Amino acid sequence: MAHILIVEARFYDHLNDMLLAGARRAIESAGHTHETLTVPGALEVPGAIALAAATHDYDAYVAIGVVIRGETYHFEIVAGESARAIMALTLDGLAIGNGILTTENEEQAIRRADPEQLDKGGGAAEAALAMLKLRQRFDA
């Protein structure tokens, strides 16, 4: 049984609730346990994962949150840098599923977050578990 850390950037409560529901359902359905850690925004998610990884208490990580395009360039920075930092951690050997949504509007975010629609929270958890299996294969 693996112990998974879900790191959520809680900015849009109603969207995060859906992402969390999907992630938790996928992890529990696979027979694993989880904890949830909340950070202020998507840019803080990779840092929190790095800090948690140093404890060796978790087998895999699920990054979730929502970034919706606004009127400024800030969207590109947050979307790109959070994804880049998560990828860097993955290349360092951490099993991470990236479920940080980057959308043009709330309608797209709802469709992707809702466990009864595209279930990107569940998909991120499944990706983390798949990467964990892959890491275990190569560590053996």
Catalytic (active-site) positions: 74
Alpha carbon distance 100, 62 (integer Å): 9
Alpha carbon distance 11, 102 (integer Å): 13
Alpha carbon distance 27, 29 (integer Å): 5
Binding residues: 11, 42-44, 66-68, 71-72, 98, 112
Binding residues for (2S)-2-hydroxy-3-oxobutyl phosphate: 71-72, 112
Binding residues for 5-amino-6-(D-ribitylamino)uracil: 11, 42-44, 66-68, 98
Could you give the strand order of the β-sheet that contains 96-103, starting from the edge strand earlier in sequence?
33-39, 3-9, 60-68, 96-103
What is the token pair recorded at 68?
């919706």
